[in-house]
Structure 1
């Protein structure tokens, strides 16, 4: 072992792993861990984020002997136990299905380590793919990178156009490996509302916030991660950014911040780095071509001219003009780029003479003359003066666009200048040539964008001409029309393209909404835009923002629009969002009911079905079984009218789910099979048509009903398909629902490995997207998993917490599963009275609401609790177990009949009533499908063998 390795220590969570000492410590205390387990831990922790094949681990740790894979599993289990892996959200070692193990905790070196390697997370760092022209900034990038490593929080300070973003992106790429790729750009350019700052930063991290305190929620979500956040363009929302940045710095240990701003944030932890202009040739220096080309400002200038006009060979005659121009522009990168655009169009000498004729620009070459930010404005004034009348009009009128826009968008917003649109298109071409607009090619279509400083300047010109409100209103109308025109087309696109398109439009949508709902806005445009943009926010999981716009829109609808399609769409979006942000309270039902009333009055059957699907989901989760059954029947009647396969599949999925909750498993299977046949005739599920993904719902229904029927092999097949379909949907909520309802199947089969993997995935995904109900379900499922490990105290803690959270959110679908297992855990630790009260209350609730699905399990658990108390309760326990068997028979729940019959047989065997026990158990086994092997089946056969031995002994 090398000297460096002897002293190497790794830190993750509260643990310290000394490689040289071969010791694992927690809070300074050494933990007992065997040599083989230590070898495995060191090998995994030293390569975080990598998937290490099981055979590679075996070859590494047992190089001298031959062992089975089971030995590896045993030692990994020991490591997990020592680390408390999987408890209370802590995750260190993941089993990657079919591949091996991976250390997924965040690792940092201690004691002079030279390398920091960070585990990979679901959302990888996202820096723009665009190339960065880095000229004259190499030293700056290196020094800022060092400062960032040492101080954690650096603000790049300078005027607009100085190149702060370019430097920040270059620094991000320079340090990306040290953060395991976890480097994120939060582009704040388009924000005008400070309340959206935390949400925008979260979106850049691939997270969606739902809390009323978004800053605190964001910190909770990233606290355990090591990553770099680039906060770009802070000055216009500086107070909100400053508050968030200070929270991130103070309340985390591994979050690094790199901000770009025109003024300091002035908060704790901030270290300033002033970005200076590019070096340019002094007026007393040598002015030959070779001499001036040594300066970065000239290099940038020449490159930009070449990009516009083709190859450029700077001559000694031209060099003084270029040097003077760069001096007059004070080495400002954006100003130089603008000037280079004019040179490409007008020629060097003509542009230089024009520049010289502007004395205010010449004064700015002296650094003490005026504030540096005036340089860019003066340059933009100069560029604006060179425009034609048509170019000036179009330039200022496209200012409301934030981000990219099309020629058609520019034509709509800029208005008619002549007889046709050709004049506007020519003006756009001229603005591109003069570098006032940047372009990109997107799916074969040219798209345009004003850079932020240029857009701010154009907005000023728009206000000078008293056109700001008129053009902003025109822009808002255009955005609304564009979104309305996409309603039919967007759902047919692949999800990745759909999301990219919506993301690209988001900044302009926000700008249009903020103006429309603002002091000088227009209620008619505002409500129209809110309805048109609702699907965008839902698709991008921006739930809090969607809720805010919907609530504002409802307050602005007015009498004329109260019963309009617009109102229907706004109420529909609000109800869908509220289910995730506020839980299933009465506001959700009220919003759904209002939208449904409007749809019915309008005679819009398709939208009525969409709303019914959302209302069904609400009833399903809140255990309103009668309501869910009525909605399913009503949906089928409507689907029969539309004769649409999508609608029929949707109705069948509702009928299947309601029958499943009633315990009608055979009927539920029939509806699932019918729904799947309908769905096969549809080329693709159309997102937005209904409020839940019925194909995954049908597959879940099949998997769960087959489990209850005892057809375990088929149940597992459908479980796999359901998870694949849920993941393929691309919607986090859909995949979370699939995981939440499928994991119980694997737990029933006592498949702890796959259960562990899927519970961790559900926990991570629900946390990343702020899907609070699914996070609570993940907690409950982890409690069930711990119960299988006989970790009773932790299981009790998590199950109690899950039940409390689900009750508060009125998410009752899986509560009975958790109640049964909580009772089982309480019984095992001697809490019989508490366990019995829990089950009796649950039985009462289930009978009252008509949810009969869990009756076999609840009566079985009641019997087990009574049987475990004392012999004098055996008679009552026997009655409860017989009731469980009876309920299971009525539901064709063969698996649960076998569970209860096995428990009853063991109880009767204790009383030496062998023949009775044999009769009940034999009958239950005979009703089980043939060829099925499961833990419950094996247990039943073991008890049967004991009974047969007892029968012979009696004989």
Structure 2
């Protein structure tokens, strides 16, 4: 947030802080706070979310005095006392151990400013769809909510099947309004690798982690937010969850944590809420239907029975059997649900008899959590014993599936001699009826799922039969084949639908990859699966994970891999991931070159074009104009061989971008128009099979070339279309590229509201998906936006930061734009020499490399610096501005010609050379195409009016 926005009167919670009056008020009443404490509070509040080092605070508050850190602590304590120790995020100042202090509240400038609905929507929590109505734990929901309010960190403790997840979701909904609906449910059930815990939490929050200390990074990203994180099913990754939860508790002030686990995390701050079994009719109690149904366990049983057998009305003669079942199952919800499933098939009396025959397993009471666990296992054992041979085989062999699977998936892992497809399908149906498998009906086909506890039980049965490796091998082979088929099947779907389809596969893909590359895996299966899964990770923008698996697969392939199609598919994904997450260094070029060589050896033109498209994007971003042009020529030759309109559109997009980099804006526009005609000519029966989205790229190209040519109304239309296409692609990197390249159009129109919204979107997407170059670009664009409002101090900081990061990442496309604006800001602050050095170096660097696109802007900036530096420099300034006009004419960059001509006219006006000024400006305006008004045109027209008025007066 800009410094100017956070000065004056500021609101946070019930407090109003005036930095000008130097007073803190609550409900209109001034609060007693010392001068030094006010200095500290104002300094922190004006930088919400930042971690301010203690020494920095000392230097600010006591600039000429040597004091100890203890003085800071005393004043911070006074501030906290004045603010009060409120509930749910009302703790405003966080002490970041070893680093300093941070103001973690939400700050609103007084004067009607509020957080935008878009900003709020970006932080909305994610809770699963409303579960089946909860029975018997309503009071516990309120108790947990109160504990969260007071203690911030609560663990729901209990055995599997006790209902912890249902209660946690209910708590999340009950307290959602207190957190502004910023409640996030993280299901850890599907995780098999503890290292995925922090990334899973971050992904649920819409973030992505990229450092080697994910816990600390996650804390830093959410430190200033008030939210509730629900970590569900922690027990199997408890060694990783425990320290992460402790970090979140210790190092934040407003983050609340609710975990569900079969054992305590045993870390600081944790408060336990034990989930007890549902109350059931005690032995010897009245056994009428009305009395039995007073107990939650019986209510749950009847409800679940009704879902399987239709409407159920419990009669008095049946009530004792229901009471007996609930007693024998100790009121454990999952066990009751399993029993209800059997009752639908066997009837009440037979079910009770079967339970009674297993008393040796059921008699273990509920004295400890372990005993409850055994009781649940007894229920599962009992259910397993009731299965047919085919059902038992299918049940244990579907254990590798994490998340949803289909009938085809079940058939692929079963593969038992003498068991046909129909028997497998019947077995799956039987398992659904017995509540061992959950199901949901999709538009295309039914999806099935094992609960976490049931899957663990099935895995144990798989181990008992010594089938783990063979069945996990089948699972991996099935996933590889399924992904290969899925890629083709999804090719015609919109990006958002592809993302949804691939998201459903992610947990299974990870599990299969981990086994395949593990000690008992198969190398051939591993590389096949890695090749097939690259599309999943790329579609979901999990680029770091994509690179990790791909590099592991390439190492597994070894040296003699040139004849491997899988090597081609795997190697193509590595540089694409690297350039978005690490930058455009030489390794990216080498990786693309290697992938291209394999594609050529394979004789696969389609894949050669795919790799060339990624290679072109790399060349485009580093402004390797010769390399980009060579790739465009090569792609055009391949496209002519295929005769495919999509391939031709790709080649035209490349030529358009190359011409744009060369400064040939008219040629760039013509290539874009040709590419769009190809898209209109051919059927769009498939999605774009390249490593960059050429449709959005063509629309971006049109927007930029039309901007340079001064056709801003048309440019705006194409910019909006490019963003719509980027969103439709479902790919964050594609949308980020579109945002980055068309935002200059909105800035040229001085559309501050729309620009700010898009910059915020770019920033959030880049952080959430670890797209480092776009994060730097977002900072630079924010700097440009601040300059439009006259906030030069923060603008300079952001522009310098962007240029430094983009230099390290070799991401040069927008560097010169940021350089020119940085120089302009420095000139306004009187830093002429620094601005001149920056600009002259940029001109020499661009000329030396043959990068001509930014010559008009750079020479214009040099002229402005000289014109403002001294009268003695006016002649050189005039020469630079004339050079800018000349460069702009050669490039058909009419907008930049007009801007330079306006600056030249202003310079000549100072020298009373009004006729010359009129001549230059009139000629430039005449060359401007007709269209909408925008700031540069209005400035030129106002200047011309002044000049003509002055000329008439002189005459």
TM-score by length of 1: 0.87
Within-5 A mapping of 1:257-656: 257-365=257-365, 367=367, 371-418=371-418, 420-559=420-559, 561-656=561-656
Given the alignment of the two structures, is residue 21 of structure 1 paired with residue 55 of structure 2, yes or no?
Answer: no
Q: Which residue of 2 aligns with 1:848?
A: 848
- From the superposition, tell whether residues 306 and 906 of structure 1 become closer, same or farther in structure 2 (CA, over 3 Å): closer
Residues 135 and 296, structure 1, Cα contact 8 Å, conserved in 2: yes
Find the counterpart in structure 1 of residue 14 from structure 2.
10
Aligned equivalent of 1:103: 114
Alignment of 1:729-740 (within 5 A): 729-740=729-740
Q: CA deviation at 1:12?
A: 10
1:567 deviation in Å? 0.8
1-structure distance, mates of 2:728, 2:678: 19
Q: 1:778: which partner in 2?
A: 778
Aligned twin of 1:936: 936
User: Contact 1:23–1:31 at 8 Å: present in 2 too?
Assistant: no
**Rounded Cα–Cα distance in structure 2 between residues aligned with 1:665 and 1:557:** 46
Q: Is the 8 A contact 2:531 2:569 kept in 1?
A: yes
Q: How far has the Cα of 1:277 moved from its partner?
A: 0.9
**Does structure 2 retain, via aligned residues, the 8 Å contact 1:281–1:292?**
yes
Give the match for residue 867 of structure 1: 867
CA distance in 2, matches of 1:688, 1:454: 41
Q: Structure 1 regions of 5+ residues with no counterpart?
A: 1-6, 33-87, 95-99, 107-117
Contact 1:156/1:164, CA 8 A, preserved across alignment: yes
Contact 2:531–2:570 at 8 Å: present in 1 too? yes
Give SS of 1:257's match. Answer: strand
Range with bigger deviation, 13-22 or 774-783: 13-22
Whole-angstrom CA distance in 2 between matches of 1:874 and 1:604: 60
**1:248 aligned residue:** 248
Residue in structure 1 matched with residue 145 of structure 2 by the alignment: 145
Aligned mates of 1:755, 1:12 — CA distance in 2? 30
Gap regions ≥5 residues in structure 2: 1-10, 43-102
**Deviation of 1:857 (Å):** 0.8
Q: Structure 1 residues 728-737 or 573-582, which shifts more?
A: 728-737
Q: Is the 8 A contact 1:93 1:105 kept in 2?
A: no
Asked if 2 retains the 8 angstrom alpha-carbon contact of 1:402 and 1:508, the reply is yes
Mark the CA change 1:921 to 1:289 in structure 2 (over 3 Å): closer, same or farther.
closer
Deviations 1:266-288 (A, max 9, x none): 22221111111111222233333
The residue matched to 1:481 in structure 2 has which SS?
Answer: helix
CA distance in 2: counterparts of 1:513 and 1:632, whole angstroms: 36
| 1:489 alignment partner, SS class | helix
The separation in 2 between residues aligned to 1:817 and 1:91, in whole angstroms, is 33
Q: Helix, strand or coil: the match of 1:156?
A: strand
TM superposition shift of 1:23: 9.3
Give, in whole Å, the separation in 2 of the partners of 1:254 and 1:337.
38
- Structure 1 137/931 Cα, relative in aligned 2: closer, same or farther at 3 Å? closer
Aligned length: 878
Q: Are 2:210 and 1:203 aligned?
A: no
Contact 1:620 1:658 in 2 (8 A): yes
Compare 249-258 and 479-488 and name the one that shifted more. Answer: 249-258
SS at match of 1:413: helix
With over 3 angstroms needed to count, the CA separation of the structure-2 counterparts of 1:155 and 1:424, relative to structure 1, is: same
C-alpha spacing 1:455/1:714, structure 2 compared with 1 (3 Å): same
How far is 1:874 from its partner?
Answer: 2.1
- Residue 512 of structure 1 and its aligned partner are, at CA, apart by 0.8
- 1:791 lines up with 2:802 in the alignment: no
* Counterpart for residue 744 of structure 1: 744
Task: Report how far residue 370 of structure 1 moved.
Answer: 6.2
In structure 2, the residue corresponding to 1:439 is in which secondary structure?
Answer: strand
Superposition TM-score, scaled by structure 2 size: 0.87
Deviation string, structure 1 residues 894-952 (Cα, Å, up to 9, x no partner): 22122222222222333333443333333322322245633223323333344435545
User: CA 1:652/1:13 → structure 2, altered by over 3 Å: closer, same or farther?
Assistant: farther
- For structure 1, which segment, 227-236 or 363-372, has the greater mean C-alpha deviation from structure 2 after superposition? 363-372
SS in structure 1 at match of 2:14: strand
Give RMSD over aligned pairs. 2.9
Q: State the shift of 1:14 in Å.
A: 11
Residue 131 (structure 1) shift = 3.0
CA distance in 2, matches of 1:268, 1:683: 61
Aligned residues of 1:328 and 1:361 also touching (Cα < 8 A): no
Output the CA distance in 2 between the equivalents of 1:884 and 1:264.
70
Say which SS state the counterpart of residue 519 (structure 2) adopts. coil
Rounded to whole Å, the distance in 1 between the matches of 2:208 and 2:244 is 16
- Deviation per CA, 1:461-492: give whole Å up to 9, x if none: 11111100000000110011111111111121
Deviates more, 1:152-161 or 1:682-691: 682-691
Contact 1:191–1:197 (CA under 8 A) maintained in structure 2: yes
Secondary structure in structure 2 of the residue aligned to 1:813: coil
